[in-house]
Every structure is written in structure tokens, then in C-alpha cells.
Amino acid sequence: MSFSQEWEQLYQENQQEAIWPWSHLVSLAHHFGNLHKGMRVLELGCGAGANIPFFLQQGADYYGVDGSPTTVIALQKRFAGKSVHIEMADFTKLSVVHSGGAFDLILDRSALTCNTTEDIEHTISFIWKNLASHGRFFGLDWQSTKHDDYHQQEGAYLDAKTRVFQTGHFAGMGAMHFVDQNDLARLFRGGRFLYLTEKIEQHYMPDRHQSAAWDFVVEKAEGTDE
């Protein structure tokens, strides 16, 4: 598995055009981001670039990776001349981003969770290798096993925690990975959790269902490089 081509299709069809920074990201960045001018930030799966203006405003040197040519070309054009570097790549296959040094912050808002367990583990190795000492990783909106759709009968299993759905809220999104607290602790055993919250949304209208996702901040521990 790799970058889900379903996402390129979604960007081509203008189905994923979020342009405002995610409010939870802004809140976490202010509490745990050590924001400062010149800080080096890498976003995995930067999508339509919703979070870029926020980090530019902080004076950050921003790097983004995405597997969709459509969105990468659009972002390179939109942020030309700014301290923004967008690379088209499947971030689950990266080893090193050619950026001249380690990152203070690597973030992922609901991108890494769209991959298999194996690809996620590979990407986490990349994260440890490319984070500065005591650098931090922000994971936002990683799907939780408490999400109703995780328990759907329909949908193929790519591994014990990764599914592909033809119906429901994740239809047409390719691989979708779900975690509980133990999964997160195992995946990020090389780091120290500074923040961990499960967000459970009980929807009553227009239809009844429960969605659930995790937000977390992990600090790279001394000596962790894989």
C-alpha cells in the first residue's frame, strides 16, 4: 500500500478544499509547539494547505509533503516566494526530506491515519530520524476504534486495524486505520506523550452515529532515531 489514489481524485474534484487552520492544531501549537521565528516545521499530508498560513504567521520555515499532484501544484503556486516548500511524495516511503536539518515540529492532521499499520510504522521511523532532539510530533484526528464505522460489517481488512470501506463515512477514502490507547502507546514507544485526548462525538442530527478520533503530542526522547 501507499498513497491512496482516492485522495488525488478528491482533490481533482475539489472535494477536500479546507483552507482554514484546524482549531485543535492551533490550540495544541500554542500549548506544546514551542512556536518561534525560524522554527522548522514539516507537515505530512499537507492537503489543501489549511495549516500553512498559521505557521507562516509564526515565522516558521514550512515544509509540506503530499502525494496528490493536483494539490501540490496548487500550493506551490499559491505560496510562491514565501518560506514554504512543498514536495510531491508518498510520505510513507520517505527516508529523509532534503531540507538542511532536523525539524522542530512534524505534524499530521488525519493523513497518516489513512494508511496501513506497516506504512504507519515506517513513517514513524522517518519521524524519529527527522525530528530534532526533543522535537515534537503532533498527530490530529487519528481515527479511534470507538468510531461506529470501525465496527461495520462491510469493508475489507488490510490488516487487523486498517480497513477499506465502500459505504459509510469513509467510503471512497481508501485505507483507514483505527487505534486505541494501547495501539498509540505501542506505535510511539520511542517518544514521551505530552498530550493525549480521545474526542468522541455523539451525533444526533441529521443522523445518529458516533465518531471518535485521537489528538496527541509526542516528544522525541533522547537517543530515539528509529
Partner 1 sequence: MSRRRISRKMSTTGGAFDLIIDRAAVTHNSTEDIQRVITLAMNALKPGGRYIGMDWFSTRYEDYASVPSEVVDDNTRIFETGDFAGDGRTHFSDETHLRELFAGYRFLFLTEKVEEQVTPCKHRAARWDFVVEKTQEKASS
* Residue ranges that bind partner 1, judged by CB under 8 A: 181, 193-206, 216
Query: Which of 88/195 has CB closer to partner 1?
Result: 195
- Give the nearer residue to partner 1 in terms of CB position, either 110 or 181: 181
Backbone angles phi and psi of 173, in degrees to 5: -105, 5
- Taking the C-alpha atoms of residue 175 and residue 177, their distance in angstroms, rounded to an integer, is 7
Is the CB of 24 or the CB of 85 nearer to partner 1? Answer: 24
Give min distance, CB of 208 to partner 1, in A.
10
- Stretch (H or E) spanning 128: helix 117-130
Cα–Cα nearest to 102, from 142, 71, 65, 133: 133
Packed helices 5-12 and 69-78: angle between N→C axes, nearest 10 degrees: 50
Residue 209's CB: how many other CB atoms inside 10 A? 13
CB nearer partner 1, residue 121 or residue 201: 201
Short-list 53, 15, 220, CA closest to 131: 220
At closest approach, how far in Å is the CB of 31 from partner 1? 10
User: Whose Cβ is closer to partner 1: residue 6's or residue 180's?
Assistant: 180
Q: Please classify residue 189 by burial: count the beta carbons closer than 10 Å to its beta carbon, then call 0-12 exposed, 13-18 middle and 19+ buried.
A: exposed
Helix, coil or strand: residue 5: helix
Q: How far apart are CA 200 and CA 17, in angstroms?
A: 24
- Smallest distance, Å, CB 94 to partner 1? 28
Q: Which is nearer to partner 1, 171 or 195 (CB)?
A: 195
Q: At its nearest, how many Å lie between partner 1 and the CB of residue 27? A: 11
For the bound state, the minimum distance from the C-beta of residue 19 to partner 1, rounded and expressed in Å, comes to 19
User: Would you say 151 or 203 has its CB closer to partner 1?
Assistant: 203
Cα–Cα distance for residue pair 31/182, rounded to 1 Å: 24
Q: How far is the CB of 179 from partner 1 (least distance, A)?
A: 13
181 contacts: CB under 8 Å, gap ≥ 6: 196, 198
In the complex, what is the shortest distance from the CB of residue 11 to partner 1, in angstroms, rounded to a whole number?
A: 26
